[in-house]
Amino acid sequence: MSESVYTTARASASELRPMARRRSVVEHLRELGGYRELLANLTRKELTVRYQHSMLGFTWSMLQPVFLLIVYTAVFAILGAGFEKFSIWVLCGLLLWTFVATTLLTATTSITENASLVGKVKFPRAVLPLASVAGALVHLALQSIAFAVVLGVTRHRVDWVYMPLVPLAIVTATLVVAGIAVIIAPVNVYARDTGHLLDLLVLGWFWATPILYPFFLASTTLENNGISRWAQMANPFTPIVISIQRAIYGSSTEIGTDVSLIPDESVWWYAAWLGAIAAVALVVLAAALRLFDRAEVNMAEAL
Amino acid sequence: MEAVVVDNVTKTFRIATDPSDSLKERILRFRRTNYEEFVALRPIDLTIEIGETVGILGHNGSGKSTLLKCMAGILTPTTGEVRVRGRLASLLELGAGFHPDLTGRENVYINASFYGMSRRDVDKVFDEIVDFAELAQFIDEPVKHYSSGMYVRLGFAVAVNLEPDVLLVDEVLAVGDEAFQNKCIGRIRQFQDEGRTIVFVTHDVETVRHVCQRAIVLDHGHMVIDSHPSKSIRVFREYLHAHTPLHAAAELSDSPVLFTDVRVSHANAGTRRHLLPGEGFTIEIDVETTHPVDQPVLAVEVCDSAGAPIFRIDTDGLGTPLGRIEGRRTLRVDISNVELLDGEFPLNLSLSDRSTGRIFDWREGSDSFEVANPTKATGLVAFDVTVKEQ
């Protein structure tokens, strides 16, 4: 208390406010905004703790895509499957999916693993799943740097016209994932086996997204069964992943047929899809925060 | 102006009688889980003014920690509402939120951000925190290498340096060594002088007497009393007493003489239960013989609240040997000048044969007297103390 002398005036000046009460989504967001320092600290804590006793530290995150690239190149060379620069194609979707899967799996247990905290300290609990999102985002950033280096070394030419789609796709994916994270974290408080269910869900979702196979392949199969190829777009991660593939991999490569791997559309077409998904994701996130607010009331005692 | 308002707050916990947190169980017995309700807080109304220091006394399970958690906003009251003015810091468990693998420094920043403090705010008080915790040498060590005392020190140092308007403290001062406890009490006194509001939960009566201006006693979720500490402490003691099973009387079937009743009273027993330091009291012991007893010796022991004897005398030692007892008689023991401080003091009584040493009957801790100390002095014995400048 050296520099300032405390007086009761400070307390007297503030108003008497309830300690626990339901808040609107806007109030919730404002409160979370006030705790952005906590969000940053928890994210930093997560990352520091994970790499504390490893010699390479963050390099591990960056080595992962390089290693994946080598594995996929080798495996598909041996199997003789895939198409030109298949490993680069795969990485476009795989790095994004790693982000999605990591976030969802860590967010599920984000509250239950911090049970002691929730029972002893007051803070907006939604910070916990959001810190999982932020942590995974940092990983994605590191891996993207490594991927960029790989692209540079292999002299791969990205499609610069479509490149602005990449950050847009990542923002959209973050919004989608944040909404899901905010919903599943409190669910796991009341039903502890949510994680198992989620494992299956993430696996299924992975194969439902054109990451290891190109969009057109699924389109052909769907259309042979009388379903529109655009049904794929109902999966929010499909437009996100194909936007990244379009920007980084490009659409020039075709195999056998005259159908490109991904829809041969303008950058605006892709941007419109991303925008639409981001808009829906925002609504979902708002609803998720509202649900979270209700779950928060009894969270400390349910743990 | 009020700093904390507890408005008709109740808290009921639902405890699943067949606890199962799995999704399968939930789906199978959808909305049919059996719950037992546990009422932790009956309607509590409490207003704490700015600058007050209030103690909450209670046994384990009395609801005192639940009340504090409701005040801190960690638990949501089932009905009613808690309103707080200004910034609140709670010390419910020292080191809550500390991550063992991170250094003391990193943990300080994380801990402070739980209260919404920015890095820059913490930078300003960081040195004071480290100074107060006496951890300058170890601040860059992972806290898993800290002793429990160091943990406690760092936790307390962070909470008190966050400039809270209202500080909630739960039982934590009992950890840490004596020097640090004194330092904490000193800091709490400084807080009091500065006019901050403090709420203490403890079962340590002495701390409450020492630092609080007001104390409330909770029992099974009811607020039993809300009053001056010495009065509340007395009520708390009475409750303690009432809930402790009385010692079973000794079974002495073939003894020639037995105690039939013992009464403890004092001059002002009509108006108050307790003595004031320096007053005296009387023990009346009814005895009944089946055979006359020639040379009985009555011994009286006074114990401290933990049951350890602090005073013993018998009729031989007093030089007033008892004569032959036959039939129903009453022995009267007068004890004057009880210069004791606050507490409930159990009595041990025994009647034995002078020549053989055989114990005819005894009562251990079944009777007691109580002293309530109106002053701020603490300890066991009351002395008269005056201080003046020479």
Answer yes or no: do B85 and B160 share one domain.
yes
Structurally, chain B folds into a number of domains equal to: 2
* Interface test with chain A among B13, B15, B23, B128, by most A beta carbons within 10 Å: B23
Q: Tell me the chain A residues in contact with residue B197 when contact means C-beta distances shorter than 8 Å.
A: 11
In angstroms, the CA B18 to CA B170 distance is 31
Locate tokens 């906590």: which residue? A38
Residue type present at position B287: V
Residue scoring higher pLDDT (A133 or A56): A133
Stated pTM of the model? 0.74
Q: Average the pLDDT over A265-280 and give the result.
A: 93
Digit-coded pLDDT (tens) for A22-53: 788 888 898 888 888 899 988 988 888 777 76
Interface contact flag, B2 A191, Cβ < 8 Å = no
Cβ–Cβ under 8 Å, residues B198 and B204 = no
Q: Does B381 fall in a domain?
A: no
In angstroms, the CA A30 to CA B29 distance is 38
Q: How far is B95 from chain A (nearest CA, A)?
A: 10
Q: What is the CATH number of the domain that holds B334?
A: 2.70.50.60
Interface contact flag, B75 A301, Cβ < 8 Å = yes
Answer yes or no: do B106 and B201 share one domain.
yes
Q: Tell me the chain A residues in contact with residue B5 when contact means C-beta distances shorter than 8 Å.
A: 16
Cβ–Cβ under 8 Å, residues B265 and B281 = yes
Across the interface, of A8, A38, A194, the residue whose CB is closest to B114 is: A38
Q: Does B161 fall in a domain?
A: yes
Q: How far is B89 from chain A (nearest CA, A)?
A: 9
Q: Average the pLDDT over B90-115 and give the result.
A: 83
Q: Does B180 fall in a domain?
A: yes
pLDDT bracket for residue B26 (50, 70, 90): low
Domain encompassing residue B206 = 2-243
CA distances from B23 to A187, A190, A192, A291, A299 (A): 10, 8, 7, 19, 17
Interface contact flag, A1 B99, Cβ < 8 Å = no
Q: Minimum mean pLDDT among A76-90, B5-19, B346-360: which range?
A: A76-90
Interface contact flag, B163 A12, Cβ < 8 Å = no
Answer yes or no: do B304 and B270 share one domain.
yes
Interface contact flag, A37 B165, Cβ < 8 Å = no
Q: Minimum mean pLDDT among A255-259, B250-254, B262-266: which range?
A: B250-254
Indicate the residue among B210, B243, B276 that finishes a domain.
B243
Mean pLDDT of chain B, nearest integer: 83
Q: How far is B250 from chain A (nearest CA, A)?
A: 46
Across the interface, of A10, A122, A194, the residue whose CB is closest to B86 is: A10
Q: Which is it for strands B222-227 and B214-219: parallel, antiparallel or unpaired?
A: antiparallel
Locate tokens 């102006």: which residue? B1
Interface contact flag, B84 A3, Cβ < 8 Å = no
Q: How far is A198 from chain B (nearest CA, A)?
A: 12
In angstroms, the CA A129 to CA A111 distance is 7
pLDDT at A1: 40
Q: Average the pLDDT over A174-187 and give the result.
A: 95
Q: Compute the C-alpha angle B275/B281/B282, nearest 5°.
A: 150
The pair of three-digit structure tokens given for residue A260, joined into one six-digit string:
């490109």
Answer yes or no: do B315 and B185 share one domain.
no
Task: List the single residue in A with minimal CA-CA distance to B81.
Answer: A18
Digit-coded pLDDT (tens) for B198-208: 998 887 777 78
Q: Does B390 fall in a domain?
A: no
Q: How far is A56 from chain B (nearest CA, A)?
A: 18
Answer yes or no: do B233 and B269 share one domain.
no
Answer yes or no: do B303 and B359 share one domain.
yes
pLDDT at B95: 66
Q: How far is A294 from chain B (nearest CA, A)?
A: 11
In angstroms, the CA B126 to CA B123 distance is 5
Answer yes or no: do B68 and B161 share one domain.
yes
Cβ burial, residue B39 (10 Å; 0-12/13-18/19+): middle
Task: List the single residue in A with minimal CA-CA distance to B93.
Answer: A120
pLDDT bracket for residue B250 (50, 70, 90): very low
Indicate the residue among B243, B269, B286 that finishes a domain.
B243
pLDDT bracket for residue B160 (50, 70, 90): confident
DSSP 8-class letter at A48: H
Q: How far is A60 from chain B (nearest CA, A)?
A: 19
In angstroms, the CA B133 to CA B156 distance is 8
- Structure ipTM over 0.90, yes or no: no
Q: Which is it for strands B53-58 and B35-49: parallel, antiparallel or unpaired?
A: unpaired
Across the interface, of A18, A35, A121, the residue whose CB is closest to B83 is: A18
pLDDT bracket for residue B249 (50, 70, 90): very low
Mean pLDDT of chain A, nearest integer: 85
Q: How many angstroms separate the first and last alpha carbons of chain A? A: 37
Interface contact flag, A17 B85, Cβ < 8 Å = yes
Q: Average the pLDDT over A145-161 and give the result.
A: 87
Cβ–Cβ under 8 Å, residues A18 and B88 = no
Interface contact flag, B72 A122, Cβ < 8 Å = yes
Instruction: Please report the DSSP string for B23-55 in residue order.
Output: HHHHHHTTT---EEEEEEEEEEEEEEETT-EEE
Q: Does B251 fall in a domain?
A: no
Q: Does B21 fall in a domain?
A: yes
Answer yes or no: do B109 and B149 share one domain.
yes
Answer yes or no: do B270 and B235 share one domain.
no
In angstroms, the CA B122 to CA B361 distance is 67
Answer yes or no: do B193 and B270 share one domain.
no
Interface contact flag, B101 A52, Cβ < 8 Å = yes
Q: Tell me the chain B residues in contact with residue A2 when contact means C-beta distances shorter than 8 Å.
A: 128
In angstroms, the CA A192 to CA A101 distance is 18
Answer yes or no: do B262 and B345 share one domain.
yes
* Interface test with chain A among B48, B52, B76, by most A beta carbons within 10 Å: B76
Interface contact flag, A192 B21, Cβ < 8 Å = yes
Cβ–Cβ under 8 Å, residues B50 and B3 = yes
SS3 content of chain B, % helix, strand, coil (to 5): 25, 35, 40
Q: Tell me the chain A residues in contact with residue B23 when contact means C-beta distances shorter than 8 Å.
A: 191-194, 197
Q: How far is B236 from chain A (nearest CA, A)?
A: 27
Answer yes or no: do B367 and B288 share one domain.
yes
pLDDT bracket for residue A261 (50, 70, 90): confident
pLDDT at B254: 63
Interface contact flag, B71 A19, Cβ < 8 Å = yes
Instruction: Please report the DSSP string for B191-236 in residue order.
Output: HHHHT-EEEEEES-HHHHHHH-SEEEEEETTEEEEEE-HHHHHHHH
Q: Which is it for strands B53-58 and B166-170: parallel, antiparallel or unpaired?
A: unpaired
> In this complex, how many residue pairs, one in chain A and one in chain B, have their CB atoms less than 8 Å apart?
145
Q: What is the CATH number of the domain that holds B166?
A: 3.40.50.300
Of the candidates B207, B267, B257, B260, the one whose C-alpha atom is nearest the C-alpha of residue B53 is B207
pLDDT bracket for residue A163 (50, 70, 90): very high
CA distances from B26 to A292, A293, A295, A296, B20 (A): 20, 22, 17, 20, 8
In angstroms, the CA A190 to CA A299 distance is 9
H helix or E strand, kind and range, residue A285: helix A267-296
pLDDT bracket for residue B310 (50, 70, 90): confident
Q: Does B95 fall in a domain?
A: yes
pLDDT bracket for residue B248 (50, 70, 90): very low
Q: Average the pLDDT over A131-155 and give the result.
A: 90
Of the candidates B188, B206, B100, the one whose C-alpha atom is nearest the C-alpha of residue B143 is B100
Across the interface, of B5, B93, B97, the residue whose CB is closest to A16 is: B5
Q: Does B104 fall in a domain?
A: yes
Interface contact flag, B117 A16, Cβ < 8 Å = no
Across the interface, of B74, B83, B119, the residue whose CB is closest to A119 is: B74
Indicate the residue among B184, B209, B243 that finishes a domain.
B243
